[in-house]
């Protein structure tokens, strides 16, 4: 924290606020991510996108404390974050004006930014030789830039910060039990943990087993494609566990409709529209779906793979007696014939029309 303060002062700040907002981040943002299964373009768990509205909120709070009329951010003019920050700030206080040096100064590249930092004696964790843009928080670590900008290049496993490369992970599988209450993870391997500890523990377990690395070419909000490598071990485990529990506890129509809603929710978060009525309304719907998402999920972790190894819930909608091929008082095999006749009637009528059987 002292290094952060020192860097801020060297960068020109007259006063520094340092707040630990990890618990708020988990409870108010990441738990919503898990319950909604927000997954951008099928892969990205939105570690950056979920962090930005909280940061915008804190920026506005501090601006109000200081009576500031401007907020300055260091986002590039090509990225999504400039949109996320500025929409968040505008939603909370539309009178605050924005200063974005990347869009004003003669800094055209990360190399230029490094030169500027060196000129001013500001330490930065990158060099021109290792010029990855890294964003790290409790949920993920992202890597962009450098040789990743050429999609034909395989990403280097040496960049990993919290995940052991799968080929170097331990040779025996690890099992992990996760218990949920109304869609919220509460226990890991039988031990109740506070929200921050739970993420930290699963990051460690997942990281040791090579879990949670994705390499994606994503469609940015600002119109271009970009490539990123993301490490999200705890998130990958929790998404898989939560989804498996939903398979057991949600009825078909709710589960399938939630998939549609999840896609829209993901775009809202990714596109910086957190502080909107639509996002709040979708969260209300998702909360309703989570009323019975309570139970325990067992997963096997092995060299980057997450394999379901068991699930149980007092709200399970699966009944082995009904689902088995044997006799059931609830379901009669004979009923299937009538169902098929009615369900397939439109198909049958269309075929009859094509054959000239309908006059």
Annotated binding site for L-citrulline: which residue ranges? 44, 80, 84, 133, 142, 218, 230
Q: For residue 179, give every residue at least 6 positions away whose Cβ sits within 8 Å of its Cβ, in sequence order, or none.
A: 185, 186, 187, 188, 190, 295, 296, 297
Please provide residue 114's backbone torsions phi and psi, each rounded to the nearest 5 degrees: -65, -45
- Alpha helices in 124-272, H assignment, sequence order: 195-208, 233-249, 252-270
Q: Annotated binding site for L-aspartate: which residue ranges?
A: 76, 80-81
Q: For residue 53, give every residue at least 6 positions away whose Cβ sits within 8 Å of its Cβ, in sequence order, or none.
A: 29, 84, 88, 272, 274, 275
Give the separation between CA 211 and CA 236, rounded to whole angstroms.
7
Angle at 329 between CA 324 and CA 334, to 5 degrees: 80
Q: Annotated binding site for ATP: which residue ranges?
A: 74
| Residue 318 DSSP one-character state | -
- Alpha helices in 166-232, H assignment, sequence order: 195-208
Q: Annotated binding site: which residue ranges?
A: 44, 74, 76, 80-81, 84, 133, 142, 218, 230
Q: How do strand 225-231 and strand 213-219 relate by DSSP bridges?
A: antiparallel
């Amino acid at each position: 924290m002292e290094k952060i303060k020192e860097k801020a002062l060297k960068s020109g700040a007259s006063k520094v606020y340092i707040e630990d907002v990890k618990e708020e981040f988990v409870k108010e943002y990441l738990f919503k991510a898990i319950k909604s299964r927000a997954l951008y373009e099928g892969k990205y768990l939105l570690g950056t996108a979920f962090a930005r509205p909280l940061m915008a909120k804190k920026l506005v709070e501090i601006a109000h404390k200081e009576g500031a009329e401007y907020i300055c951010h260091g986002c590039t003019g090509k990225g999504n974050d400039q949109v996320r920050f500025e929409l968040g700030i505008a939603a909370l206080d539309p009178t605050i004006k924005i200063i974005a040096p990347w869009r004003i100064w003669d800094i055209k590249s990360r190399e230029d930014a490094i030169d500027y930092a060196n000129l001013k004696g500001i330490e930065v964790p990158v060099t021109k030789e290792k010029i990855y843009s890294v964003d790290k928080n409790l949920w993920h670590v992202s890597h962009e830039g450098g040789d990743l900008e050429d999609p034909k290049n395989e990403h280097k496993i040496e960049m990993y910060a919290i995940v052991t490369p799968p080929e170097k992970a331990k040779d025996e599988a690890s099992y992990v039990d996760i218990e949920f209450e109304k869609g919220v993870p509460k226990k890991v391997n039988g031990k109740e943990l506070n929200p921050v500890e739970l993420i930290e523990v699963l990051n460690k377990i997942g990281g040791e087993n090579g879990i949670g690395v994705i390499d994606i070419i994503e469609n940015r909000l600002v119109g271009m494609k970009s490539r990123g490598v993301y490490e999200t071990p705890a998130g990958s485990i929790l998404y898989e566990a939560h989804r498996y529990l939903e398979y057991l506890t949600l009825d078909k129509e709710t589960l399938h409709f939630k998939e549609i809603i999840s896609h829209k929710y993901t775009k809202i978060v990714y596109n910086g529209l957190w502080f909107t009525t639509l996002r709040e309304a979708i969260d209300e719907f998702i909360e309703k779906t989570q009323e019975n998402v309570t139970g325990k999920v067992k997963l096997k972790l092995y060299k980057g793979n997450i394999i379901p190894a068991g699930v149980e819930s007092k709200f399970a909608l699966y009944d082995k007696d009904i689902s088995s091929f044997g006799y059931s008082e609830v379901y009669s095999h004979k009923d299937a014939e009538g169902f098929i006749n009615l369900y397939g009637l439109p198909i049958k009528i269309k075929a009859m029309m094509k054959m000239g059987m309908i006059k």
